[in-house]
């Protein structure tokens, strides 16, 4: 990290995360290859940032990267809520109740919270990019062995 500062890396990650969000919500268009390149760059920057912060803060890398992932998820949630408020400026009590339920019950699993939030915000990601050539599932050894 000779030419970049920790701040530079963090700012670039935020720029990439915003671009990825805009692509995922169909606000801008980008090829699948460019989209994947951005995701790879974001992952590499996150690893670099976590390594540097771990050294500076004298904390384990695993703890720092976990904290960074949580912060990125919260940033993305904030972008999602702001976009939703832009699209629907008038609050909807039904949506508010779902969001309150999702975050108000600490006994719910992450999957349950995600499913509930998806009922409110999922429409924004309906046109998120998908791999145009998904990998073909490879048959296991036994499937190939007994396949005639």
Q: If we measure between CA atoms, which residue out of 42, 104, 44, 48 comes closest to residue 73?
A: 42
For 41, phi then psi, to 5°, come to: -60, -45
- For residue 16, CA distances in Å to 7, 9, 71, 103 come to 14, 11, 14, 27
**pLDDT, tens digit (0-9, with 9 covering 90-100), for 98-137:** 988 888 888 888 889 889 999 999 999 998 898 888 787 7
Asked whether residue 134 is domain-assigned, the answer is no
pLDDT score, position 136: 78
Does residue 115 belong to any structural domain of this protein?
A: yes
Q: Is residue 110 part of a domain?
A: yes
Q: Does some domain include residue 143?
A: no
The rounded distance, in Å, linking the Cα atoms of 27 and 23 is: 6
Whole-number Cα distances in Å, 36 to 43, 54, 68, 109: 11, 27, 20, 29
Confidence band (pLDDT; 50, 70, 90) for 138? confident
**What pLDDT, in 10s, does the model give residues 45-57?**
999 999 999 999 9
Average pLDDT on 24-43 reads 94
Number of domains in the chain: 1
Residue 1 reports pLDDT greater than 60:
no
Structural tokens at position 115: 């499913």
Q: Which two tokens stand for residue 91?
A: 């609050």
pLDDT confidence bin for 6, thresholds 50/70/90 = confident
Within-domain flag for 104: yes
Whether 146 has a pLDDT exceeding 80, the answer reads no
- Is residue 148 included in any domain, yes or no? no
Give the per-residue pLDDT at 2: 57
Q: Does 137 reside within a domain?
A: no
pTM of the model: 0.81
Domain that holds residue 45: 6-129
* Rounded Cα distance, 99 and 93, in Å: 10
Is 63 part of any domain?
yes
What is the C-alpha to C-alpha distance for residues 40 and 46, in angstroms, rounded to an integer?
Answer: 10
Rounded to an integer, what distance in angstroms lies between the CA atom of residue 48 and that of residue 54?
10
């Amino acid at each position: 990290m000779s030419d970049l500062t920790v701040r530079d890396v963090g700012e670039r990650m935020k720029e990439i995360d915003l671009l990825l969000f805009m692509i995922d919500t169909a606000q801008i268009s980008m090829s699948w290859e460019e989209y994947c390149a951005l995701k790879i760059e974001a992952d590499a920057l996150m690893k670099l940032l976590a390594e540097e912060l771990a050294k500076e803060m004298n904390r384990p890398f695993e703890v720092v990267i976990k904290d960074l992932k949580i912060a990125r998820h919260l940033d993305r949630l904030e972008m999602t809520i702001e976009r939703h408020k832009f699209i629907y400026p008038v609050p909807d009590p039904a949506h508010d109740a779902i969001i309150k339920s999702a975050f108000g019950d600490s006994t719910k699993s992450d999957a349950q919270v995600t499913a509930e939030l998806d009922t409110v915000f999922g429409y924004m990601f309906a046109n998120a990019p998908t791999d145009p050539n998904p990998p073909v599932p490879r048959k296991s050894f036994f499937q190939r062995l007994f396949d005639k």
